[in-house]
Amino acid sequence: MQRAPTDRADVCVVGAGPAGALVASRLASDGHDVTVLEAGRRFDFEDRQDQMEQSIRPGERGDIWEMGGERDDYSNNGNRTYPLNVSRVKGVGGSTLHWQGMVMRMHPADFAGDHDNDDPAWPISYDDLRPYYAEAERALGVAGVAEDNPFAPARDGPYPMPGFPPSYSDSLFAEACANLGITLHSVPNARNSESYDGRGQCVGYGTCQPVCPSGAKYDATVHIEDAEAAGATVIDRVPVQRLETDADDRISAAVYVTPDGTEHRQEAREFVLAAGGVEIPRLLLLSADEDHPDGLANSSGAVGRYFMDHLFAGSGGTLDRETRQNHVGFITSESHQFYDDPGGAIQHAGTGETVVAESDDAYSPIKLEFLNYAGPSPVEIALNGDDWGDPMLDEVRDAYGNSIAMGGLVGQPPRWENRVTLDPRVTDDHGNPVPDIRWSWGDRVRRSISRANAIQHAVLDELGADIAWTANVDGGSGPAYHHMGTTRMGTDPDESVVNPQLRSHDHSNLSIASSSVFVTAGSMNPTLTIAALALKCAAHLGERL
| Sign of the dihedral defined by the CA atoms of residues 420, 423, 424, 426, in that order | negative
Specify burial of residue 420 (Cβ count, 10 A radius: 0-12, 13-18, 19+). buried
- Coil vs helix vs strand at 393: helix
Residues linked to residue 256 through DSSP beta bridges, in sequence order? 240, 264
User: Strands 333-335 and 185-186: what pairing?
Assistant: antiparallel
Specify burial of residue 46 (Cβ count, 10 A radius: 0-12, 13-18, 19+). exposed
Whether residue 283 lies inside any domain: the answer is yes
- From CA 191, how far away is CA 212, in angstroms rounded? 10
Task: Give 13's DSSP letter.
Answer: E
Query: Which pLDDT belongs to residue 378?
Result: 83
Residue 341 near residue 497 (C-beta atoms within 8 A): no
Whether residue 191 lies inside any domain: the answer is yes
CB contact burial 63-81 (16+ within 10 A = b; e otherwise): bbbebeeeebbbbbebeee
In this structure, what are the phi and psi dihedrals at residue 305, rounded to the nearest 5 degrees?
-80, 165
In this structure, what are the phi and psi dihedrals at residue 289, rounded to the nearest 5 degrees?
-145, -170
Over its length of 545 residues, how does the chain's per-residue pLDDT go in tens digits?
789 999 989 999 999 999 999 999 999 999 999 999 999 999 999 999 999 988 887 665 568 999 999 999 999 999 899 999 998 999 999 999 999 999 999 999 999 999 999 999 999 999 999 999 999 999 999 999 999 999 999 999 999 999 999 999 999 999 999 999 999 999 999 999 999 999 999 999 888 999 999 999 999 999 999 999 999 999 999 999 999 999 999 999 999 999 999 999 999 999 999 999 999 999 999 999 999 999 999 999 999 999 999 999 999 999 999 998 888 889 999 999 999 999 999 999 999 999 999 999 999 999 999 999 888 888 888 888 888 999 999 888 888 899 999 999 999 999 999 999 999 999 999 999 999 999 999 999 999 999 999 999 999 999 999 999 999 999 999 999 999 999 999 999 999 999 999 999 999 999 999 999 999 999 999 999 999 999 999 999 999 99
- How many structural domains is the chain composed of? 1
Whether residue 45 lies inside any domain: the answer is yes
Residue 423 near residue 436 (C-beta atoms within 8 A): yes
Whether residue 533 lies inside any domain: the answer is yes
Nearest to 511 by CA among 26, 2, 103: 26
Query: Which pLDDT belongs to residue 481?
Result: 96
Whether residue 1 lies inside any domain: the answer is no
- From CA 425, how far away is CA 369, in angstroms rounded? 41
- Coil vs helix vs strand at 541: helix
- From CA 215, how far away is CA 203, in angstroms rounded? 10
Residues 6+ apart with CB under 8 A from 162: 143, 145, 193, 194
- From CA 270, how far away is CA 33, in angstroms rounded? 11
- CA of residue 175 relative to chain centroid, distance: 31
Specify burial of residue 354 (Cβ count, 10 A radius: 0-12, 13-18, 19+). exposed
- From CA 149, how far away is CA 499, in angstroms rounded? 33
Whether residue 3 lies inside any domain: the answer is no
Whether residue 456 lies inside any domain: the answer is yes
| Sign of the dihedral defined by the CA atoms of residues 474, 477, 483, 484, in that order | negative
Query: Which pLDDT belongs to residue 325?
Result: 87
Query: Which pLDDT belongs to residue 75?
Result: 97
Whether residue 332 lies inside any domain: the answer is yes
**Per the omega criterion (within 30 degrees of 0), is the bond before 424 cis?**
no
| Amino acid occupying residue 440 | S
Q: Which long-range contacts (CB under 8 A, 24 or more apart) does 212-217 make?
A: 212/48, 212/101, 213/48, 213/49, 213/51, 213/52, 215/45, 215/48, 216/191, 216/192, 217/99, 217/101, 217/189, 217/190, 217/191, 217/192
Give the Cβ contact number of residue 426 at 10 Å.
15
Residues 6+ apart with CB under 8 A from 150: 183, 185
Quick one: angle between helices 18-29 and 221-229, nearest 10? 20
Nearest to 521 by CA among 106, 65, 186, 45: 106
Give the domain range for residue 377: 9-544
pTM: 0.97
Q: What is the CATH number of the domain that holds 243?
A: 3.50.50.60
